[in-house]
Structures are given as C-alpha cells and as structure tokens.
Amino acid sequence: MSEAPLFELEDVGVEFGTGAAALDGVTVALPDRGITVLAGPSGSGKSTLLRLCNRLEVPTAGTVRFRGDDVATLDPLAHRRRVGMVFQRPSPFPGTVADNLRVACADADPSLFADALDRAGLGRAFLDRRADDLSGGEAQRMCLARTLVTDPEVLLMDEPTSALDPPTATALERRARMLADAGVPMIWVTHDLAQVERIADEVIVLVDGRVANEHERLHFLRGEAHAHDHGADGEIDGEIDGEIDGDEDGA
C-alpha cells in the first residue's frame, strides 16, 4: 500500500492582482518523508507553491490538502505551528537568541530552547548571544531553531542557503538531512542544480507555474534550460542527469 501524501494539490491556481498566474492547474502529491525539492527556473512558482502549504498564500482555484485535510478549513496559526517555515533570508528579532526563541513559544521550558539550538547545529551556548551579533549562517540556524521550538511536523525551506557562503550552506544542508532522517519531512525550494543533486530525495520541477512534463524536467535537470545564460557544460549536465535518474531508479 502506498503511503498517504504529506501535501496534495489538486488543480491549484494562484493569480495575483495583475491577472498574472503564478500557478496554473497544478496537481501534485508531495511525499511524507525525506527532503522533497521544488526546483525550476526563477519565477516558475516554487515559492508560491511552498507558501500555499502553510497558508501564507491562498489558492484562487483548486484545493490544497495537508495529510488529508483541506488546508482552507484549518486554523492558520495552529497549522503554522505544525508546518514550520524558514525563509530565504534570516529575520532575527532584537534581543538575545533566547528572546528570539521565546517569540515562537513564550511559555516553553528553557530546556526546549537548548534542544532546538542543538538540533539546528548551534548549541546552547548561543542562548545568551545577541541576535544582531550573529553571522549570516548563525542567524539562519537560529531562525531554524526558532521554528523547531514549536516541534513542527514538517519544515518548509524557501531557498534557505541562497544568502550563505558555500561552507555555511553545506553545514545547513547537513543539518537539514539529519532532521529529515530523524523524521521531520521537508519541502525545499531551490533553483541550484548542484544543491538538488546533494539533498533531494524527490524532485518536482516547475516551469511557468505548472508541473513540468518529462521532457521539460530532464531539460532543466541537465542544465539545458539555462545553458546559454550560465554556460552549463556537458560534464556537469551528465553528472546531474545521472544522479537524478539513478536516484529515481533506486527509489
């Protein structure tokens, strides 16, 4: 018996005030395990789809379900505690790291703060550090810890490493893998093909606000979609194609 999906979108559309469609007729199931990557060129609707998952956006057509429940029927605040989100750029609040964690859960036992920092890869020694003294990577991991304080069932990651240097990004990816392997499924947005190769258990490619067909999917994952812009070469294309195809064959 196949497992029930984590999120299920059925014929979902999102239109903004200009009449432009950010998503158009999207039907897709996101698995309840590991790291699912939403990939695709810039402007393809990845972040919009992600924001639908915790009601930061609402569909203008179709239905979004979370573990079988229509998201539109769920209390938004309660839902966002179950479905945590880490954004592209860290957003520390004034005060100490402990103050920042307290924003997420004011009545939490202090031991939960220390545990959240450990899970985010910072450590409890950071509790009394001022948030504005943190490096970019430390601030992003603090934001991850702030999300983890509420013990979410799922993590939504909206290009969380795009503003980080490569070593710091790798450290955050490693921490994400540990969390996913410990039973916290993730939906991760990126247009970085190398990152797709490193972290993805499942890849869903979006193009022009819809789920890519197989030709478009392979075209993007081979780097061909941006070859004239970024100079992707055959060696890199072949490695990405082989990794993705191999992962799927072994799934």
- Indicate whether 114 and 80 sit together in one domain: yes
Instruction: Say if pTM beats, i.e. exceeds, 0.95.
Output: no
- Total domains, the chain: 2
Question: Is 34 inside a domain boundary?
Answer: yes
Question: Is 2 inside a domain boundary?
Answer: no
Residue 227 predicted with pLDDT over 60: no
pLDDT digits (tens, 9 = 90+) for 111-126: 899 999 999 999 889 9
pLDDT digits (tens, 9 = 90+) for 34-53: 999 999 999 999 999 999 99
- Indicate whether 193 and 236 sit together in one domain: no
pLDDT for position 250: 40
Please check whether residue 139 is in contact with residue 117, taking contact to mean a CB–CB distance below 8 angstroms. Answer: no
Residue 67 predicted with pLDDT over 70: yes
- Indicate whether 39 and 155 sit together in one domain: yes
Please check whether residue 5 is in contact with residue 28, taking contact to mean a CB–CB distance below 8 angstroms. Answer: no
- Indicate whether 73 and 165 sit together in one domain: yes
- Indicate whether 25 and 72 sit together in one domain: yes
- Indicate whether 234 and 199 sit together in one domain: no
pLDDT for position 72: 96
Residue 69 predicted with pLDDT over 80: yes
Please check whether residue 30 is in contact with residue 36, taking contact to mean a CB–CB distance below 8 angstroms. Answer: yes
Neighbour-count burial of 24, counting CB atoms closer than 10 A to its CB (0-12 exposed, 13-18 middle, 19+ buried): middle
- Indicate whether 227 and 140 sit together in one domain: no
Residue 246 predicted with pLDDT over 50: no
- Indicate whether 14 and 47 sit together in one domain: yes
The range of the structural domain enclosing residue 141 comes to 7-212
Segment 217-226 mean pLDDT: 80
- Indicate whether 196 and 230 sit together in one domain: no
Residue 225 predicted with pLDDT over 70: no
Q: What are phi and psi of 159, to 5 degrees?
A: 45, 55
Strand pairing class (35-39; 202-207) = parallel
Q: What's the N-to-C CA distance of the chain in angstroms?
A: 15
